[in-house]
Amino acid sequence: MAKRPTTESPLHGVDLLLADLDGVVYAGANAIPHAVESINRAAEGRRVGYLTNNASRTAASVAQHLTELGLLVTEDDVVTSPQAAVRLLADLVPAGSTVLVVGGDGLTTVVEAAGFVVTDSALEHPAAVIQGFAQNVGWVQLAEASYALGADETMPWVATNTDWTIPQARGIAPGNGTLVSAVHTAIGRLPIVAGKPEIAIFREAVARFGGSKPLFIGDRLDTDILGANRAEMESVLVLTGIDHSKKVLAADAKSRPTYLLEDLRELDQPYPAAVRKTTLRGATTVTVGDATVQLLGTAVTIVKAGRPIDLLRAASTLIWESGLPIYGLDVAPELYDEGSV
């Protein structure tokens, strides 16, 4: 869904702003710098909703956390991957079925609220397995899921999400994808996935909030941006979470954001246009702000560094539009510097 940016701000014309949480609004218990005030400012002119793949907490507890950070949020403003997963589950098994739940309160409460009977044992003959992240999920829970799914190869298996990692205050930790992978390794098949990058969670958000021109903010290319593109939404990759310059430059066509922001203060600021030129030597240059990058043959070099975020915008535009794979290019090492953006 990436487009050629103009000098208008990313929020121009947007009537629904959707934001991921981990790595965008907060890391662990703490707010990401500049996120709260920037989102509050954006909320003055449009509806704001929050999407999270993290299945460990309820929507109410997430809303309380966001409120404590200084955002104006109600429980209904939060769309969780368990909510999207249970909607998928309802189409796969009869109402009132017994479901084996691997996860915490954020998942169990949603499953129960939908009218299903919750169990944690394969001996209860569940009709399906639903799996989400919780810090206390261990071998016993993963084994019960494997026993149930292994005994019936047609049994529905729904995962809230498959994020490999999750940002925490102390650093990056394993996410639900690692837990799902353990069950997959044991039984030899994959689940139906509700969360990003699948579109179920985006559909849940649009159905709830409305809006004709949504904009989604995320920090991961492989879940947030890929999912927004699949849902045909414009997207922002903010460089405050998981993915930074190296992954941005190597992003494939399905995972490229509409906008790149260093932090959310830039959300309502003019987004600089990329200016393309061809030199007499046959080189292609892209300039964003004061930063210019050149492609000559297969060599990508810096002509003028400018601001780090503008340099990344220029380099990504040049590489993405070259039609050449990143491994076929000789890219200046400075463009991979994770210490800048």
Beta bridge partners of residue 237, listed in sequence order: 218, 260
**Catalytic residue status for 224:** no
Cα torsion for 107, 110, 114, 115, to the nearest 10°?
70
Q: What CA–CA distance (Å, rounded) separates 151 from 191?
A: 15
Q: What CA–CA distance (Å, rounded) separates 57 from 54?
A: 7
**Catalytic residue status for 15:** no
**Helix (H) or strand (E) run with residue 276 in it:** strand 274-278
SS3 state at 117: strand
**Active-site residue (options: 15, 20, 252, 290):** 20
SS3 state at 155: coil
- Distances from the Cα of 213 to the Cα of 14, 78, 85, 216, angstroms: 5, 19, 25, 10
Q: What CA–CA distance (Å, rounded) separates 303 from 307?
A: 13
The DSSP secondary structure of 238-273, one letter per residue, reads: ETTSS--HHHHHT--GGG--SEEESSGGGGGSPPPP
Residue type for 130, please? Answer: I
State phi, psi for 279 to the nearest 5 degrees: -85, 170
For residues 307 and 290, the answer to whether their CB atoms sit within 8 Å is yes
Q: What CA–CA distance (Å, rounded) separates 162 from 179?
A: 8
For tokens 């999912």, name the residue: 227
320: which residues sit within 8 A by CB, 6+ positions away? Answer: 2, 251, 253, 256
**Active-site residue (options: 15, 22, 268, 330):** 22
Residues with a catalytic annotation lie at 20, 22
